[in-house]
Amino acid sequence: MNLIGIRRKEIKLNQAITEWLKGDHSEWQIVLMLSLMVGVCTGLTAFVLKSLIEEIKHLLTSEFVAEDTNLLYLVFPAVGILISLLFVTYIVRGDISHGVTKILYAMSRGRSRIKSHNRWSSIIASAITIGFGGSVGAEAPIVLTGAAWGSDLGKRFHLQPKTLMLLVGCGAAGAVSGVFKAPIAGLVFVLEVLMLDLSFSSLLPLMVTSITSVCVSYAFYGTAPLFDFSLNKAFTIDIIPGCILLGIACGLVSLYFTRAMNWFEMIFGKIKKKSYKFLLGATVLGALIYFFPAMYGEGYDVINQLINNASAKEIMHNTLFYENDSNLLIYLGLVLLLKVFATTATNGGGGCGGVFAPSLFLGCIAGFLFAHLWDMGFGLVMGESCYLSPKNCGLYGMAGLMSGVMHAPLTGIFLIAELTGGYDLFVPLMIVSVVSYLTINIFEPHSIYAMRLARRGQLITHNKDNAIFTILKLHSVIERDYKTVMPDMQLSKFVVTIAKSHRNIFPVVDASGKLLGVVSLDSVRLYMFRPELYRQYTIRNFMKEPPATLMVNDSLKIAAKKFEDTGAWNLPVVDENHLYIGFVSRSGLFTSYRETLIKFSQE
């Protein structure tokens, strides 16, 4: 009884707060207040997540001796995945993986509703996964968490779908801003990756959330950039050829990462039992981390080492390569090739994490390796002025991989500049990011987040026509008030049916409801006023094949294409068993299109 009373008081308090915030405020003022609240919530959750990951990792690995390999690297990742899997299966009872993809899907449905449990479930699952060694990033879970905060607050105030979508974007922006201490990157990430359409006035709530979230992070961690970096070789035009080639290399590494991840995910997808998925994921991940401890967790320690000229032994701690410094490039090359399998094994086995951190990690390694190879080859030929700084190229590579994997060059540029304070390197960051994006775009039109939705026709893009056709669903424009007729119905009975209907077309179905054809009023007009013919003809004499048939799961883009190809004004809709459902009219489809376009274009 006490618990019920506490719950009732909590509900009343929430209602009181909601009513107080509403007051006499306009929706615009409410959105600004909510964007501030989202910023505070995302900043705090980012702090909680990072703290949990660091505490778990420190507790498990702080006593490891750098000179020796450690068999616990085989065990810890499996334990983390198992705990996360049990948590998701028996407590959350839902799927919380692929956070950014889930946000894109929610937005593609036009409702932008994220399940409330994502405000905390992603934090717990990803902290356990990564703290125990899962080779993934915390950023996608925190982005989903931020989006859930925005969605939940928006639902409390019964905001319009477009406004709710804006708050979801605010949550994502605040998450990136808070976890990286990078407010511009958080804003740009939403513009490039998530948002359908954005007006100038919509920027203000996004900026409020980003600034608020990053200030919360400053309160806990200080204002210093996430990575400690000092510039020791300034940009000169002599290194532009090297930057262009590094951009191409980053694009190709991004392509390898994307294709390899999709291939390995398909293998996990073919395994039905979760226990078998866990065994495969835990085995692959444990073996890789045992031989390459650099893959443990997010990998930010390795990034800090590479961009600060750490010794080879620091980078190759707890490995079989430890005693020989000359093995560093071979070691990093193997990590570059195998990291994607560790990341996919983590998520495929039941862990929770994203590809944000792996992209930065691989980008830094790719840039570092490229600089060494360039200096050993072209640098010697072209002169010392063309030498590339390995630590600088680590930053360029991070921007390049992020641009390639996420198809977000602006995010890559601003994120790396804010992560390191390396604003003096803006030009090379831009060169590498743009070239990497152009390179992968030749082979892959969508980012690693969007390609799953693109295959199913559920992806919202910045192309307004495509976006509206994605938001609208075929079932929303199906008209079901057509009177069905049977093929053996006599003309006399059909005339009675016509008299009771306000339609001029009739679907012909069999006893099971399967569509056989259509019959139009025009086809029987000459016979309607000749009663002597009523018993001589049946529907079968007049019915025809429809010019095209729509499947109930077809997108509106497919429907519009069929209307254009056939010139028809009405097309029947059937399910996978060819059972008749209704009709879609050309006028109804484009009326819905115009209404949705107007709604999403309004401020």
If you average pLDDT over residues 452-480, what whole number do you get? 63
Q: How far is CA 275 from the centre of its chain?
A: 26
Whether the predicted pLDDT of 21 surpasses 60:
no
Question: Which of 273, 264, 317, 259 lies closest to 293 in space, CA to CA?
Answer: 317
Query: Which residues make Cβ contacts (< 8 Å) with residue 99, sequence separation at least 6?
Result: 118, 122, 140, 141, 143, 144, 145, 147, 354
Residue 442: pLDDT band with limits 50, 70, 90: very high
Whether the predicted pLDDT of 439 surpasses 60:
yes
For tokens 């707060």, the residue is 17
If you average pLDDT over residues 28-57, what whole number do you get? 91
Residue 518 pLDDT: 93
Residue 540: pLDDT band with limits 50, 70, 90: confident
Alpha helix locations (H) across 157-234? Answer: 161-180, 183-189, 203-221
> Total domain count for the chain?
3
In a domain, 232, yes or no: no
In a domain, 402, yes or no: yes
Q: Which tokens is 531 given?
A: 């009663």
pTM for this predicted structure: 0.77
Residue 148 and residue 171 in contact, taking contact as beta carbons nearer than 8 Å: yes
Residue 534 pLDDT: 75
Residue 1: pLDDT band with limits 50, 70, 90: very low
In a domain, 19, yes or no: no
In this predicted model, which residue has the larger pLDDT, 133 or 458?
Answer: 133
Q: Domain containing 395 — which CATH number?
A: 1.10.3080.10
Tell me how far apart the 2 most distant CA atoms of the chain are, in Å: 104
My answer on whether 96 and 128 are in the same domain is yes
Residue 603: pLDDT band with limits 50, 70, 90: very low
pLDDT (tens digit per residue) in 353-362: 888 899 999 9
My answer on whether 503 and 593 are in the same domain is yes
Residue 225 pLDDT: 85
Residue 37 pLDDT: 93
Whether the predicted pLDDT of 568 surpasses 80:
yes
Lowest mean pLDDT among 14-28, 161-175, 387-401: 14-28
Residue 414: pLDDT band with limits 50, 70, 90: very high
Q: Domain containing 502 — which CATH number?
A: 3.10.580.10
If you average pLDDT over residues 504-519, what whole number do you get? 92
My answer on whether 202 and 337 are in the same domain is no
Rounded-to-integer distance, Cα 45 and Cα 183, Å:
16
Last residue of a domain, one of 188, 221, 254: 221
Average pLDDT of every residue of the chain: 84
Q: Which tokens is 70 given?
A: 């450690």
Rounded-to-integer distance, Cα 13 and Cα 21, Å:
12
Residue 459: pLDDT band with limits 50, 70, 90: low
Most confident of the following: 249-258, 457-466, 497-506: 249-258
My answer on whether 319 and 260 are in the same domain is yes
If you average pLDDT over residues 529-545, what whole number do you get? 83
Rounded-to-integer distance, Cα 244 and Cα 582, Å:
56
My answer on whether 215 and 242 are in the same domain is no
In a domain, 226, yes or no: no
Beta-bridge partners for 354:
137
In a domain, 359, yes or no: yes
Whether the predicted pLDDT of 187 surpasses 60:
yes
**For residue 89, what is the DSSP state?**
I
Residue 271 pLDDT: 92
Residue 15 pLDDT: 57
Query: Which residues make Cβ contacts (< 8 Å) with residue 74, sequence separation at least 6?
Result: 286, 287, 289, 290
Last residue of a domain, one of 407, 428, 459: 459
If you average pLDDT over residues 241-269, what whole number do you get? 94
Most confident of the following: 88-97, 166-175, 462-471, 554-563: 166-175
In a domain, 23, yes or no: no
Whether the predicted pLDDT of 500 surpasses 60:
yes
Query: Which residues make Cβ contacts (< 8 Å) with residue 364, sequence separation at least 6?
Result: 302, 303, 306, 307, 394, 395, 397, 398
My answer on whether 528 and 433 are in the same domain is no
My answer on whether 377 and 341 are in the same domain is yes
My answer on whether 391 and 428 are in the same domain is yes
Residue 11 pLDDT: 54
Rounded-to-integer distance, Cα 363 and Cα 432, Å:
11
Question: How far does the chain reach from its first CA to its final CA, in angstroms?
Answer: 47
Rounded-to-integer distance, Cα 470 and Cα 464, Å:
10
pLDDT (tens digit per residue) in 99-149: 677 776 666 555 556 777 878 888 999 999 999 999 998 888 888 888 888
My answer on whether 425 and 553 are in the same domain is no
Residue 291 pLDDT: 92
In a domain, 187, yes or no: yes
Strand-strand pairing, 570-574 and 515-520: unpaired
Residue 592 pLDDT: 76
My answer on whether 324 and 454 are in the same domain is yes
Most confident of the following: 293-307, 474-488, 529-543: 293-307
Whether the predicted pLDDT of 454 surpasses 70:
no
Q: Which domain holds residue 250?
A: 237-459
Instruction: State the amino acid at position 204 in one-letter form.
Output: L
pLDDT (tens digit per residue) in 339-395: 999 999 999 998 988 888 999 999 999 999 999 999 887 655 566 667 888 999 999
Residue 529 pLDDT: 76
Residue 103 pLDDT: 73
Q: Which tokens is 469 given?
A: 């056709």
Residue 431 pLDDT: 96
Residue 214 pLDDT: 95
My answer on whether 353 and 315 are in the same domain is yes
Lowest mean pLDDT among 124-133, 228-237, 577-586: 228-237
